[in-house]
Amino acid sequence: MKKLIFILVLCCSSFHAGAAESKLEQIQLETDLPAVERGADALMNACHTCHSLKYITYRDLVKFGMDKKKVSDWRGDQPLDTALTSQLSDETAIQSYGIVPPDLSLIAKAREGGPSYVYSYLIGYYITPEGMTGNHVFPETRMPDMMGMSGATDPVQRAELQAKARDIVSFLAWAADPHEEERHKLGYYVIGYLLVLTAMLFVVKNQIWSRLK
Amino acid sequence: MKSRVIKWIDQRFPFSSFVKHDLTEYPTPRNLSYWWNFGFLAGFVLVLQVATGIFLAMHYKADVTLSFDSIQHIMRDVNFGWLLRYMHSTGASAFFLVIYIHMARTLYYGSYRAPRELMWWTGQGLLLLLMATAFMGYLLPWGQMSFWGATVITNLFRATPFFGDQVVVWLRGDFGVGDATLTRFFALHYLLPFLIIGGVLVHLVALHTVKSSNPSGIDLAAKDNIPFHPYFTIKDFYGLGIFLIVYCIFVFFLPNSLMEPANNIPANPMQTPTHIVPEWYFLPFYAILRSVPNLVGGVVAMGLSVMVFSFMPYLDRSRIPGGAHYRPWYRVMFYLFVVDMLVLGYVGYIPPTDQSIMIGKIATIFYFAQFVLLPFISRKEEQWLIRCGLPPEVETLIASEAKEKNKLPHQRRIGDIK
Ligand code: HEM
């Protein structure tokens, strides 16, 4: 049993020990509807021009409980079942940036560090001594500093931008794993049930085995 | 009072006698510890994988242009599809964990020795099938790690003498891992679990011929064997409860901790990930592969590191029963082996540095050295133990074994049920 626990601990810990993670800013994710909705709002304004979220449709946003009016503003005259495709064609993207911006539906699960990575990346822009824009987390990134983090020197403004990035990450985390909340809820029931069942099995086991002597 | 239906069946098929002989009244040593639960657990996880796998296959599409999307469809739109997939992906890890513990139990208690060699070898075959199944299943989501893992591993077959390159193409069905590879891996990933079921049946028939070993390693008299039902059915179910709690913690709360983030990026043959790692259960063997600088040598070492377990019945020359329990030298070797495996696993996980490669080499040499030295150590240990005097139970066994020497050769085996 001791070994079992040891192995479990070992594999969990080793799976989180990414090399890049040390310089990431760890965030506590907010998963409530208002935060996710604020994030969606910010993302539709600042990121959606370049990035798609092809596994998310406008209907998903409504079903999650976001404000219907807001969603219909975002989608314009597109049908409700349209996915959040970007407005940037691949050719233009390659011409302008040399790369097609990645789809963001899974981005919160697709990098070592997950949401903390995305957050640190978004707020990681700074002005190098040579006057160029750099990024602490992804130095060679071809994405411009869309949130204006590098230009923000005023602490209040920086805090605002950080809050905005945090909201965007909340939304991206939801988009990457939309059933997470449901999963956790069900998990508490299942594990609670198993605990009771196992305790009862233990009692029955002792009872049956006590017949032996 | 037997129902008429059962009576009707029994006249045509040995149903009741089978249930009685192999399930309810099957004689089982009463002193089995909880380490003996893991065989049952492995069978349970096998059923779980087949059950979830079949439902996943109803929604999955084996086509390079569709498979990544079909997994997202399962995760997002299919009712409880996320549960099916997380149960299946976590189940693969659970399967290996359970099997590795099951094997460690066998190694610790020396249960691979006569007359259980066939159990050990069928188990070895099952391990290979399980590895092949998991490896092929990992390609199916068609993520970056799926693609590059399959590319790296199929590429190893280049080491085949004379027609290595042709073998690689033959395995992949194309020059690179592509649609042909994906469809054939899906077909085989569907097939192999059923071969595993067949192998498990052979494993169990062998078990019921030689009967379970037990922690003392000494044959128990009839009075110490108890019927499987209800004693071990309830014990197995209690163990299952504990297992399911651990399993469900991973399924519901940490399912992504067992998946590489890079596998959430669709496969891209034009872009190699910075660091290709296999699933945790392959890491020690992967470390051995990387520890040998040349391809052929690495492949041979890796293959041997898995297959070398088959030789255990011959390598262990000691006839002292009870496995590591009564054998201090062997016990030390067992624990060192477990530590060595963990070191190798870690070395396989981290990106290679000069230092980690050095550690990997030492751990690899140590891994094989243990197997090579075992015949000598076990022989010497046996002589030493006999000289020092054995625990009284063991003495009794040796005496009864000496008596058995007079029996007919086919009856003369340690561990036989009288
Ligand atoms: C010996 C038992 C089995 C093992 C160890 C196993 C292992 C795996 C693994 C490691 C994956 C990749 C999981 C991921 O990263 O998403 C996978 C995927 C898959 N397996 Fe299995 N599997 C087993 C049995 C089966 C069976 C019997 C079927 C179907 C009849 C099946 C159907 C599938 C399908 C459709 C996928 C793709 C979906 C997915 O990736 O989640 N599996 N399997």
Q: Which ipTM was obtained for this model?
A: 0.90
Please state the pTM of the whole predicted model.
0.91
Residues A120 and A184 occupy one common structural domain: no
Residues A57 and A145 occupy one common structural domain: yes
Structure tokens at A179: 């059933």
Q: Does residue B235 carry a catalytic annotation? A: yes
Contacts of B278 by beta carbon, 8 Å cutoff, 6+ apart? B149, B153, B286, B348
Confirm if A116 and A16 have CB atoms less than 8 A apart. no
The partner residue sitting opposite B253, judged by closest CB among A16, A114, A184, is A184
**Domain B33-266+276-417: top CATH class:** mainly alpha
Contacts of A109 in chain B (CB under 8 A): 256, 261, 264
> Is B252 close to A16, i.e. CB distance below 8 A?
no
Contacts of A203 in chain B (CB under 8 A): none
CA B361 to chain centre: 24
Contacts of A11 in chain B (CB under 8 A): 93, 258, 280
Residues A200 and A106 occupy one common structural domain: no
Structure tokens at B58: 């109803």
The CATH number assigned to the domain holding A56 equals 1.10.760.10
Contacts of B107 by beta carbon, 8 Å cutoff, 6+ apart? B312, B323, B334, B337
Residues A155 and A84 occupy one common structural domain: yes
- Determine the atom of ligand 1 nearest the C-alpha atom of B279: 10
Pocket test for ligand 1, best of B71, B189, B200, B258 (most atoms within 8 A of CB): B189
In a domain, A153, yes or no: yes
- Please give the average pLDDT of every successive group of 10 residues along chain A, which has 213 residues: 46 43 80 95 93 96 94 92 90 92 96 95 92 91 91 91 96 96 97 98 97 83
What pLDDT is recorded for position A21?
Answer: 45
> Is B258 close to A15, i.e. CB distance below 8 A?
yes
What is the distance in angstroms between the Cα of A22 and the nearest Cα belonging to chain B?
15
Contacts of B253 in chain A (CB under 8 A): 183-184, 187
| Beta bridge pairs of residue A134 | A126
H-run or E-run covering A126: strand A125-127
Residues A183 and A173 occupy one common structural domain: no
CA B108–ligand 1 middle distance (angstroms): 31
CA B173–ligand 1 middle distance (angstroms): 21
DSSP result, B147-206: HHHHHHHHHGGGGSTTTHHHHHHHHHTSSSSSHHHHHHHHHHHHHHHHHHHHHHHHHHHH
Q: Does residue B378 carry a catalytic annotation? A: no
Give the mutation candidate from B24, B36, B76, B99 for the A interface (greatest A CB count, under 10 A).
Answer: B76
What pLDDT is recorded for position B402?
Answer: 59
Contacts of A100 in chain B (CB under 8 A): none
Q: pLDDT of chain B along its 418 residues, tens only?
A: 678 999 999 999 999 999 998 889 999 998 899 999 999 999 999 999 999 999 999 999 999 999 999 999 999 999 999 999 999 999 999 999 999 999 999 999 999 998 899 999 999 999 999 999 999 999 999 999 999 999 999 999 999 999 999 999 999 999 999 999 999 999 999 999 999 999 999 999 999 999 999 887 777 766 778 999 999 999 999 999 999 999 999 999 999 999 999 999 999 999 999 889 999 999 999 999 999 999 999 999 999 999 999 999 999 999 887 788 889 999 999 999 999 999 999 999 999 999 999 999 999 999 999 999 999 999 999 999 888 877 777 777 667 655 654 554 455 444 443 3
Closest CA to B177 of B272, B258, B256, B60: B272
In a domain, A12, yes or no: no
> Is A201 close to B264, i.e. CB distance below 8 A?
no
What pLDDT is recorded for position A64?
Answer: 94
Confirm if B377 and B333 have CB atoms less than 8 A apart. yes
Closest CA to A174 of A21, A80, A28, A37: A37
Closest CA to B118 of B6, B10, B207: B207
What pLDDT is recorded for position B400?
Answer: 64
Beta strands in B65-105 (DSSP E): none
Residues A118 and A78 occupy one common structural domain: yes
Q: Which amino acid is at B31?
A: N
Residues A132 and A199 occupy one common structural domain: no
In a domain, A8, yes or no: no
> Is A208 close to B97, i.e. CB distance below 8 A?
no
Residues A25 and A125 occupy one common structural domain: yes
Interface of B with A in 331-370 (CB under 8 A): 338, 342, 345-346, 349, 351
Confirm if B316 and B414 have CB atoms less than 8 A apart. no
What pLDDT is recorded for position B415?
Answer: 42
Give the mutation candidate from B75, B105, B258 for the A interface (greatest A CB count, under 10 A).
Answer: B75
What is the residue whose two structure tokens read 């994906």? B182
Closest CA to A171 of A82, A51, A54, A61: A61
CA A53–ligand 1 middle distance (angstroms): 27
CA distance linking residue B18 with residue B383, whole number of Å: 44
Tell me: the pLDDT tens digits for A20-37?
Answer: 444 788 998 899 999 999
In a domain, A185, yes or no: yes
CA distance linking residue A21 with residue A179, whole number of Å: 26
What pLDDT is recorded for position B215?
Answer: 86
Residue A96: half-sphere exposure toward Cβ, Cα within 13 Å: 11
User: Where exactly are the structural domains of chain B?
Assistant: 33-266+276-417
The partner residue sitting opposite A209, judged by closest CB among B231, B245, B342, is B231
- Determine the atom of ligand 1 nearest the C-alpha atom of B135: 10
Residues A147 and A212 occupy one common structural domain: no
Tell me the pairing of strands A53-57 and B27-29.
unpaired
Closest CA to B112 of B331, B335, B315, B383: B315
For residue B78, what is the nearest residue in chain A, using CA coordinates? A179
In a domain, A13, yes or no: no
Domain extent at residue A192: 179-213
Q: Which residues line ligand 1 (CB under 6 A)?
A: B 46, 49-50, 53-54, 56-57, 60, 71, 85, 88-89, 92, 95, 130, 133-134, 137-138, 140-141, 189-190, 193, 196, 259
What is the residue whose two structure tokens read 């060699």? B117
Chain A and chain B share a number of CB contacts under 8 A equal to 103
Bond preceding residue B352 cis, omega within 30 of 0: no
Cα angle B339-B340-B345, degrees, rounded to a multiple of 5: 100
What is the distance in angstroms between the Cα of A14 and the nearest Cα belonging to chain B?
8
Q: Within a 10 A sphere around the Cβ of A28, how many other Cβ atoms?
A: 7
- Determine the atom of ligand 1 nearest the C-alpha atom of B84: 41
Residue minimizing CA distance to atom 8 of ligand 1: B137
In a domain, A169, yes or no: yes
Residues A167 and A197 occupy one common structural domain: no
In a domain, A48, yes or no: yes
DSSP 8-state secondary structure symbol assigned to residue B416 = -
Report the domain count for chain A: 2
Residues A171 and A208 occupy one common structural domain: no
What pLDDT is recorded for position B388?
Answer: 86
- The catalytically annotated residue of B279, B316, B340, B382 is B279
CA distance linking residue A12 with residue B280, whole number of Å: 10
- Determine the atom of ligand 1 nearest the C-alpha atom of B139: 12
CA B53–ligand 1 middle distance (angstroms): 5
- Determine the atom of ligand 1 nearest the C-alpha atom of B50: 27
Contacts of A168 by beta carbon, 8 Å cutoff, 6+ apart? A39, A42, A43, A46, A47, A118, A122
What pLDDT is recorded for position A62?
Answer: 95
Residues A128 and A211 occupy one common structural domain: no
Q: Which amino acid is at B217?
A: G
